[in-house]
Amino acid sequence: MKLLIVESPAKAKTISKYLEGEYTVKASIGHIRDLPKSNKKAIDIEGGFIPHYEIAKGKDKVVAELTSYADKANEVVLATDPDREGEAIAWHIAETLGLKKAKRIVFHEITKEAVNEAMKHPRNIDENLRRAQEARRVLDRLVGYDLSGIIWKKVRYGLSAGRVQSPALRILMEREREIRAFKPETFWVITADTKTPRDEKIPLVASVEPREKKEVDRILATGNKGPWVVQGAEETEAKRSPRPPFITSTLQQSASTRLGFSPARTMGIAQKLYEGGHITYMRTDSTNLSSMAIGQIASVVEKKFGKKLFTPRQFKTKSKNAQEAHEAIRPTHFLKENAGTTPEQKKLYELVWKRTVSSQMADAKVLRTKLVVEVAGGEAPNFTANGQRVISPGWLFADPAARGEDVELPKVTAGEKLRLIEIRSEEKQTEPPPRYSEAGLIKELEKRGIGRPSTYASIMKTLEDRGYTEKVNKSLVPTDTGDVVSSFLEDNFAEYISDGFTAEMEDELDDIASGKRTYEKTLGDFYKPFLKDIKAKEKVAKATDLGKADPKFRCPKCGGDMIIKLGRGGKFLSCERFPECDGALTILGVEIKKEEPLGLDPKTSLPVTLLEGRFGPYIQLGVKSKENPKPRRASVPRGMNPADITLEKALTYLTLPRELGVHPTSGKPIVASVGRFGPYVMHDGDFRSLKKDDVYTIELPRALEILSEPKKARFGRKKAV
């Protein structure tokens, strides 16, 4: 018997069809070994940073099954993914099953041609690649364990820090402080509607934005007086070149802006497309395309858009470690314009197809027009109009969504007079720099050399899962907890969460992968000074300035006094017994208020009070007493500023959980409420998250519709944490 081992059952199923029964194909279902949770058992630092692995939780049956097949096989092939993570999984399988002569193959697309070609070129496990992944795993564990430990002692038990997540949080906080420090200024935008002698409309905008109302009134008066004369009309032909094929980061960014997918969701969908044989491997820094792929694109372009529009291109890959994945993310067969089994997969595949095909097409040609109009002989600022229209679509034929809106201006000549229809002003205020979206943060991390393709999605998810950020209208907003943690790290460990240090460590890990550096020396050079700094800062580091104990506030854990402290994110409370008490910190983020009721509930006449608890602000109906030991409570929605909560809003929050009615089949109730992972509807133990629906207003028919939909599984390969 011949055995071939991959990571996922879906991948195993696809490859089995191509090997036509010659091999038994089995899946390890991701990593089979991991570091134990206890750092003391996990890594032998003195012995040379030797990791001690153990079978991952729940993987005993998988290991037993693989062992039984391997014992019977006269040939074992390891076909895990073609990156460091895949190399590490292959090594762990070989070590655990005792495979001394296992062959290793790699392919970047799951097609019959690629798999059969890979089978002709087996190799040994690449020790440099798997060592680079091991170094990253050990390094992240050491940094996270030690930094998190000091945060537990100095800020609050249960918080965490990480080698890459903390620099990402710092970037978000730096932008947040810019926003807080921003002072808006008032300005006016002055626009005018005009017409040519041929009755063609031309909208104009003043070339200046006055800061004073007096100047605005003067411009309006001058404009009404006129005359309006075309001073210049310029037409410039320009080219728009296609963008490179997708790499991991640009796929995540485009899927976020065009499809509204989070990075984690994008990677899960892409994983399914890859395992189904529809696209090439989705973790890559390379923009290269193979000659075979370019040949297929040439055929598609010639047939669909015309031979003249095919323009072969090779794009420069920016990342120096792109040799690990030789191609960009592309379709495996370009004749398939549609692929995938779900609407999400089909949308993402279409995005990949359009991006790849358009990258090998001719430039688009656009005509840009700029009109400059003089007002009252120069007594007022000039007014301008800008237009653009595509005159030769080129690659935009393949990707029309990237075209933008054509704004065509009528033909006018210098000296021609325009007739004023209306001139008006609009008062506005300057705006602070925008917060990062997930796509924007990934782009920034890539620009600064922080993280690698396989880590971007997990960084976003970790920040949200830890409660350090939350999404508000697609923007990543640091929470008060995130503020306090980042501020503490910036004050005490700025070097280790700086751009330069983090990017340099990524480069050193790349050097291990290429054989330029050794595992033990790289970790030793970092860890000895790092540990020394940790021990020194443990004695002197202060997260906040201490205030006085206030008996009005009691620790929700032990009942002791809470001490008012001040952090960069605002005031918060800490138990006087901290760190012994793990009910240590209650973030307020607003001015501390006494427990005064917001008002009375009109139905019960009981007081409605906004309180601060261990897990954040909440609403309470009535007063806790012997007669009423468990008063009705409701959490304040994440992202809601406690200072903005009114009695009306508080009463709305207290409506949860809401019973919407009974299920027509089971007769059991359907409930809407908010839990640890956000709003949901629930029927008979079946929980469904509410993504777009409002938990406070959703009705029974909509809930039944959601419950009738197939329950979505979690996407993506389970990775070691």
Active site residues: 281
Residue 422 CB burial class (10 angstroms; 0-12, 13-18, ≥19): exposed
Quick check: 296 and 384 in contact, CB under 8 A? Answer: no
Quick check: 707 and 686 in contact, CB under 8 A? Answer: yes
Mention every residue, 6+ apart, whose C-beta is less than 8 A from residue 549: 561, 562, 563, 576
Quick check: 707 and 683 in contact, CB under 8 A? Answer: yes
What six digits make up the tokens of 95? Answer: 């070590």
CA distances from 643 to 66, 331, 432, 479, 646 (A): 58, 51, 22, 15, 9
Q: Can the peptide bond before residue 210 be classed as cis, meaning omega within 30 degrees of 0?
A: no
Tell me which residue of 473, 633, 669 sits closest to 681, measured CA to CA.
669
What six digits make up the tokens of 679? Answer: 């709003």
Quick check: 375 and 228 in contact, CB under 8 A? Answer: yes
Quick check: 82 and 325 in contact, CB under 8 A? Answer: yes
What single letter denotes the amino acid at residue 609? T
Quick check: 552 and 565 in contact, CB under 8 A? Answer: no
- What DSSP assignment string belongs to 47-96? TTSEE--EEPTT-HHHHHHHHHHHHH-SEEEE---SSHHHHHHHHHHHHH
Bridging pattern class, strands 24-27 and 364-375: unpaired
Residue 477 CB burial class (10 angstroms; 0-12, 13-18, ≥19): middle
Helix (H, G, I), strand (E, B), or coil: what is residue 128?
helix
The values of phi and psi at residue 257, to 5°, are -75, -35
- What whole-number distance in Å separates Cα of residue 714 and Cα of residue 512? 33
Report the Cα 205 to chain-centroid distance in Å. Answer: 37
What six digits make up the tokens of 247? Answer: 């790499």
What six digits make up the tokens of 405? Answer: 């809106």
